[in-house]
Amino acid sequence: MILAAGLGTRLRPLTDELPKPLVPVGDRPAVAHVAERLAAAGIGEAVLNTHHLAEAFTAQRLADLPVALHVLHETAILGTAGGVANAASLLADGDVVVWNGDILAEVDVSALLAAHRATGAAATLAVAPRAAGEGTVGLDARGRVVRLRGERFGEEVSSGDFLGIQVLGPELRATFPRPGCLVDDGYRPALRRGLVVATFAFAGPWDDIGTVAAYLAANARWLRRSGRGSFVHATARVAAGVTVEGSVIGAGAEVTGAGTVRDSVIWPGARAEAPLEGVVVTCGGITPARRTSTGCA
């Protein structure tokens, strides 16, 4: 399941135009990167929940994804646990991979599933390791969660940041309330009951595209990973006097003016005027404000 119903308040004003899972990262929407990781593990279908700007999740936007998505709309936002509970009839029985739609990471989902099944845990969380006492979760010597949101359940010997990527067993899923939060209404009560919440160490780079700065960093990482200095879509129009460095320019975008577009993202269909640096230009405007002309091409 891909969680895509959040309001995206920290990423405004970008999320006034698109929900976070649909904001473009490199040459495709963020949700496409998530779908690719699921498909690499042989997962052919997923549920995607919607609420904020649900109409943006059109069949056209989702058509080229490598997994078939079953879109489930929430008229009232149900939270992370509530969203999973609401999708129970589509998820059926067994273990379920649940991935926050604003998290980009090259997690090996097959290995994550294998680790979960080897422990028999109630859930297994993908965690980026950190020193003891740091990070959002504390772990014991066997890598099990013993600290979560300030509450302790055992002796902590190491720590990590929970990525928002996890495997949930059916017994735990059956306890989720609607509405409800995976951490506060799922994992913490489970840990109090003595259930095991295991972890899967992920040492690679990852991005939480929750802020404009983080969103720009995710696009920069995509460029580095793909071996590109910049990306300009074949249908974009860039004036002869404009140099593009470390930037992503989407389909149908138009860049006029003269000078350098550096470390920026120009959304599909947007208009921008160079020079620009460290900004996101959408059809609705520019973030942060710099010299530009805006509007849809």
**Are 86 and 197 part of one and the same domain?**
yes
219 part of a folded domain:
no
Q: How far apart are CA 44 and CA 131, in angstroms?
A: 36
Task: Kindly report whether the global pTM for this prediction surpasses the value 0.85.
Answer: yes
Same domain, 15 and 161: yes
Please give the backbone phi and psi of residue 51, each rounded to the nearest 5 degrees, phi first.
Answer: -155, -70
The domain total for the chain is 2
pLDDT at 290: 36
- C-alpha count within 13 angstroms, C-beta hemisphere, residue 131: 0
Q: Is residue 213 part of a domain?
A: no
Give the separation between CA 244 and CA 260, rounded to whole angstroms.
Answer: 6
Asked if 167 and 260 sit in the same domain, the reply is: no
Q: Mean of the pLDDT values across residues 67-94?
A: 95
- Verify that 55 and 183 share a domain, yes or no: yes
Percent of the chain's residues with pLDDT above 70: 97
Give the structural domain span for 260.
Answer: 229-287
pLDDT at 60: 86
67 pLDDT more than 50:
yes
Each residue's pLDDT tens digit, 7-59? 989 999 999 999 999 999 999 999 999 999 999 999 999 999 999 999 999 98
pLDDT at 291 over 60: no
Does residue 168 sit within a domain? yes
Are 142 and 254 in a shared domain? no
Whether 184 is in a domain gets the answer yes
Span 99-131, pLDDT tens digits:
999 999 999 999 999 999 999 999 999 999 998
User: Which tokens go with 178?
Assistant: 């609607």
Phi, psi (degrees; rounded to nearest 5) at 97: -80, 130
Question: Model confidence over 152-180: pLDDT tens digits?
Answer: 999 999 999 999 999 999 999 999 999 99
Coil, strand, or helix at residue 138? strand
Q: Check pLDDT > 60 for residue 292.
A: no
